[in-house]
Structure 1
Amino acid sequence: MLISRPIFARYIGIAVILVALILLAFRAPRLVNSHLYDLSFETYFQRQFQVFALTASCGRFTPDVAAQFDADSITLVPNQQNIPECAALNRKQLAVSAARDDPSPTKDDLFREKYAQVLDACASGNKAKCLILEDDIVFLHSPRRTREILVENTIPLFNDGETDAFDCTKRGFGWLSSTTTGMGSQCRVYSKHSAPCMSGCLRDQKSDSQLDTGLANCQVRCELKQKRFLLVVHGGLSSTMERPGAS
């Protein structure tokens, strides 16, 4: 029995569509990540990122944070230098001083000044980006995948990226701008270029103001585009800063 030409042509069209869909299914990951699938993530991370881990005395989850990065990539930022707990981690340390021109600073004042000094170190360093972490975070991925996520989400769409700020505690796409948010100081990425404006702005914040709110306000003042991606989550430990209603 002969098949009419219109029906035969329809079968051919369906077959072509099925073949195209199969090929697309196999090619989709490569097409979507056309500039990412063959990147040297480790090289990009080593040359672009400096990590700062803010901690009071290298307790809480600081050992886990230190273990996530090699000794050349991470700098510990404790309140006191060379205490045994920090020395045991065998990582570089950044010396910070107390809040300036404040005879009785609150915990928030001290932490905000400490954050500003870390941004100063970022600005004077030789890396294009700085990842600033607190010590109460839990990493969601292996060290290798952590680097890949950082690169995938912070590599600029064009040859800029100096006006981008990233909150890496929230789900999202690093290449897509989002609403500027203050809550979530546990994981942030700033560029060396934007760090001086951010540190100066934080020091202009009124006494006893919260760092989270200050980061959001300063990103707006420094005209930084807020972006977000999920790298870590809060570990559930209580804040080391004072909060309204805290005993």
Structure 2
Amino acid sequence: MRSAEILFTIASVASWLAAPVFGWDIAAAQNELNTQKAKWESMAIDNYRYQHNAAHDTSGAVYPFTTHVWQGSVVSYVDGQGRQINWLSPNTFGNWFGLIQTYIDQPARDLRVTYDATRGFPATIYIVANTGQVQNFEIFSFHYYQVNYNPQGVQATLDRELAKWTSMNIQNYDYQHIAYHDTTNVVYPFKTEVRNGAGTSLKDGNGQPITWTSPSTMGNWFGLIQNYLNSGAQYIEATYDATRGFPTLIYVIQNNALAYHVEINSFIYF
């Protein structure tokens, strides 16, 4: 074989190795995207929150990320320790659909997507771009809000659960909480100790004492919910421990913005 033929053969093989290998059905992926996107849009859900992981991320970021969407726009985007994320743009589900469409249009070397069976939003997205870059997302923990909520119902539930908690007469306990609305970039979860009904210790996720705010008792959390009810907040969601009645979730929208989002867990009493 002459040298020119050898060079041509080597170049052809190199070109073949570098070319995208489409092991997925592009037309089927487009049809599925169209179907699921239409399903999601038919739900007309503009107020929701969700969490996602990015298995390909090597930046050291703490997952899962939590995204809050109100009236179709992102109002909060925080990492797994409740810290605001400023170095990466947040996504509505419309943005996720757009990402999938981008890699169908290119097309990517590989694209695998699953969708929520009920509402159609993307649940997992696996992408191998033409550059060889891999992206691997998992979207989960989806929750949506009814805008026309019933504040009287929230008040009745608050009264019932407060009575339950009070009847327990628990004066000594520890618990942890994450404040997803917090923009101070402190490290969550916070650990609170309550003794004889008073907050005695508050430490951050690294075990360091917190002095810039006071520890909250469960009574303080009940009071917070009541204050937002009294002020006529736009939306309030609160859930409570089934056995003892203390708040486990407080979520408040006010003036079309996230005012408060706290999750309370890891409760023990003495």
Q: What TM-score comes out, normalization by structure 1 length?
A: 0.26
Give the greater-gyration-radius structure (CA): 2
Structure showing the higher strand proportion among its residues: 2
More helix by share: 1
Which TM-score applies when normalising by structure 2? 0.24
- Higher normalized contact order (CA 8 Å, seq sep 6+, divided by chain length): 1
